[in-house]
Structure 1
């Protein structure tokens, strides 16, 4: 019997087969795989393995004939689209990024020409998103004009005011998704250099895609006649190939893995809220930034390597420890953002699109574990989860909502790591990264970390009105202090995790507990008897029936 026919027959009978580490694994109803079928499996093992691996790792096929045909959204795109509605908690906001990049000088005409070349090159820069849940690439769009604010010769106050107006207009936009474009590019000129202001809806491009665009833009600015490598596939081609994975046995295994764990997944971190209650009427995000300089960052990476840990896991563990210091419960689920570009084609890393996925990481009570042990526990859980990523975190949250209600499915505390994933600019680049901020529906705190030659960059993008004043500053300072301690003190890795309280809280607690005073003499009731003796006619008790002296 041919291998393909045998595989089809066994699947129709309820036999599940999958490749694992070069071996053929199966799960079948008891008694179904008799001696004859087992012999057939052994005979066709290599052919069946090849068929299964092909099914689980489909090749992206270019389909130019359907180039502009609508195609489905990813789970994350769907969540972004629905989450922006005001009917959802922490909604009424788009998933959006804003960033400023500066150069010593730029030619506005060259910038406009280069950006329009990128619009023509990358399909998702011409994409629109339909409200019913599909996306399509427009076959042609108008030439995109570059808006310019010429602030050369302006005073410092005039420059700051003009830049602030640009930021207020661009940094937290809510684009109508069915109308092109879902981005905005402006330029401001000053005596100190020229700045490009980027605003982009994350429905069309993730962080890595934005970095790719910046690098290609700079290449075209350096050489307007440069030829970029041709793209043989599109984001649409990739996404349809990725969706075919959902039809394979691996997706079923991943689904079983998560559904078996859902009832044990704890809620999100229960962080303090303002005494007056949350104020989310006007959705605004604010960025709190910090940095671990290159020397302590290199020391921290070296210490992590000595203990068999990745730098990303170490930073994640420090973030978890910080959340545990302020969370009502030490066990919680943390929402992780993943840059999930599956290697389905050699050009996948050159595409612009939203490849984002999310995963829920179960964080347990450390119960006295030292930092190294807790980091290893988190790493082991994360790697196991990533082996089952075809059933996405969005699907997990939907199932939590179905079983426990919508509030239980809310996972607004996020960790996003791009450590080691930076798409570096060329060594000759003169661009400088300036102000930036992101916002995401259903998110209240997003810790974003990335590294480069200057060290570890830490950004906490926070929804305003959700936390008490000063809380985020205290938490971020404690987080950075924990990273610095791990970089400088080897003993910190072997001690139970205990992120210290901010100095002002320690002072207040010491003052509140400073109750030392001379011990009184006499009995507890002696004071009452003395008062009665001195003031026998003073009122002592008043009730509905009268009063007593």
Structure 2
């Protein structure tokens, strides 16, 4: 019997919490669409999986300790037979099963942190459903689970010789590691010196109600993934930093923030001797983000990665402990509800090996859930390209906002893939080009007013306003009109830092989410310049 780790304890407390976004389990659920599976072989493989990985039989005791149950009748493959139902009825049953499992709380008190079931469908088709509570195994542990399940399906091994728990042995080694304790003490001091300077987390945009978890997903093709990899390499940034930077730009736009923090999970940072073990080896760092609209994308990527490298050097002090220290400093709980995970560095590159997808079929659905998390974004190689997956608590967002933000993130990625030259444009301009539908009225208003300041001069979105043959007084008059009729406060310094109509429109919309509506009203009363 062992005490829960810092991360496990946070998950355990969070699933019982009544705080906003609390009361849910931290778990990862996936579905694979297959064909012609041998049910008996799969049944034997699942039994072998439970025998070989003790953490799949993890039980949490009433006093919050973790122990391992003996393998019993509940540790098996569960089967739902829909082979003789018509197509609409089968589809409804699968949809109901997905909804139930996407938000379920596995009964850890009964020694069941893992749920594996098979839905049998007409014409030999099937759907494999796998759910793992993250107290028992992290995202890399889920990958181990699937790899071993595929291996055992093809070559079922004999029962293991001993009853040891490799994960508990790992915890014992860490507890006895005096050098680790020293590094942790140094990292704790480093973090505490910087707590007061940490930016705020993106705030919840709506008071969470009944838990409504869902996902938004985009599968990039092999060509698109290669184009992004080539562009990142050409600008000497990593693929992970590119996806992280564009995500940070999207969050800044969605929450109207220049400074904020993100949770960045870490997996298997000290991987020696733990390969193939299912357990919670995760950690997280609190990444402070500061957006500079005039900075270009490569510079932002490098700044982010330099900062992340500094955080990783002090990750021996757990991120959950940093969050607790931060809450004590501010006198209230300081959550970090937005998470970003890049899985590009995993061994074998793809999220699941060819053997997994050949055996069980392609990944059809994956969703994670966790207490205090409103948006968990993940990117990883999958299905020959790159899978972008956003796991959401829809009840924490105004209607349709997550879809609009996801569309913005997708547009930024497509812009980077198709137009590598856009990397050198300022971030504000890069974003504005991906939001034409929201910023078009503001740009149109700017063009109309600028035509009055400099009659006869035709402007494009990327032209420099400050280079026009217009007196300084006229430009100040332009700012005065904008400040009078739009609820923003623009200064000559703002104009100097955002000198094009596209950049200035992006700044106006960033400061006032309703600027487009105000611009449309002004345009109705503003006659076109002859």
Change (3 A) 1:183 1:486: same
Q: Which moved more, 1:440-449 or 1:148-157?
A: 148-157
Residue 258 of structure 1 contacts residue 396 of structure 1 at CA under 8 Å; is this kept in 2? yes
For 1:438, the equivalent position in structure 2 comes to 368
Alpha-carbon distance, 1:217 to partner:
1.1
Alpha-carbon distance, 1:392 to partner:
1.3
Misfit runs of 4+, over 6 Å:
226-233
d(CA) in 1 for partners of 2:74 and 2:21?
A: 36
SS of corresponding position for 1:441: coil
Residue 341 of structure 1 contacts residue 349 of structure 1 at CA under 8 Å; is this kept in 2? no
1:240 corresponds to which of 172, 180, 190 = 172
SS of corresponding position for 2:439: helix
SS of corresponding position for 2:427: coil
Deviations 1:473-508 (A, max 9, x none): 111111111112112222211111132364543356
1:136 paired with 2:67, answer yes
Alignment map for 1:20-59 (pairs within 5 Å): none
Change (3 A) 1:230 1:128: closer
Alpha-carbon distance, 1:131 to partner:
4.5
d(CA) in 2 for partners of 1:300 and 1:163?
A: 35
Alignment map for 1:200-279 (pairs within 5 Å): 200-224=132-156, 234-245=166-177, 248-270=181-203, 273-274=205-206, 278=207
Q: Which ranges in structure 2 are unaligned for 5 or more consecutive residues?
A: 442-515
Alpha-carbon distance, 1:146 to partner:
2.8
For 1:489, the equivalent position in structure 2 comes to 419
Change (3 A) 1:115 1:401: same
1:150 paired with 2:81, answer yes
1:326 paired with 2:254, answer yes
1:74 paired with 2:1, answer no
Residue 269 of structure 1 contacts residue 327 of structure 1 at CA under 8 Å; is this kept in 2? yes
**Structure label with greater radius of gyration:** 1
Residue 141 of structure 2 contacts residue 279 of structure 2 at CA under 8 Å; is this kept in 1? yes
For 2:315, the equivalent position in structure 1 comes to 389
Alpha-carbon distance, 1:381 to partner:
0.4
TM-score (norm. length: structure 2)? 0.78
For 2:42, the equivalent position in structure 1 comes to 111
1:306 corresponds to which of 234, 237, 244 = 234
Alpha-carbon distance, 1:119 to partner:
0.6
For 2:117, the equivalent position in structure 1 comes to 186
d(CA) in 2 for partners of 1:466 and 1:90?
A: 8
For 1:353, the equivalent position in structure 2 comes to 279
SS of corresponding position for 1:406: coil
d(CA) in 2 for partners of 1:232 and 1:180?
A: 17
d(CA) in 2 for partners of 1:453 and 1:182?
A: 28
Residue 238 of structure 1 contacts residue 344 of structure 1 at CA under 8 Å; is this kept in 2? no
Alpha-carbon distance, 1:218 to partner:
1.3
Residue 331 of structure 1 contacts residue 364 of structure 1 at CA under 8 Å; is this kept in 2? yes
Change (3 A) 1:248 1:354: closer
SS of corresponding position for 1:316: helix
Alpha-carbon distance, 1:344 to partner:
3.6
Aligned length: 442
TM-score (norm. length: structure 1)? 0.76
For 1:411, the equivalent position in structure 2 comes to 336
Alpha-carbon distance, 1:72 to partner:
2.0
Q: Which ranges in structure 1 are unaligned for 5 or more consecutive residues?
A: 1-69, 520-549
Alpha-carbon distance, 1:515 to partner:
3.7
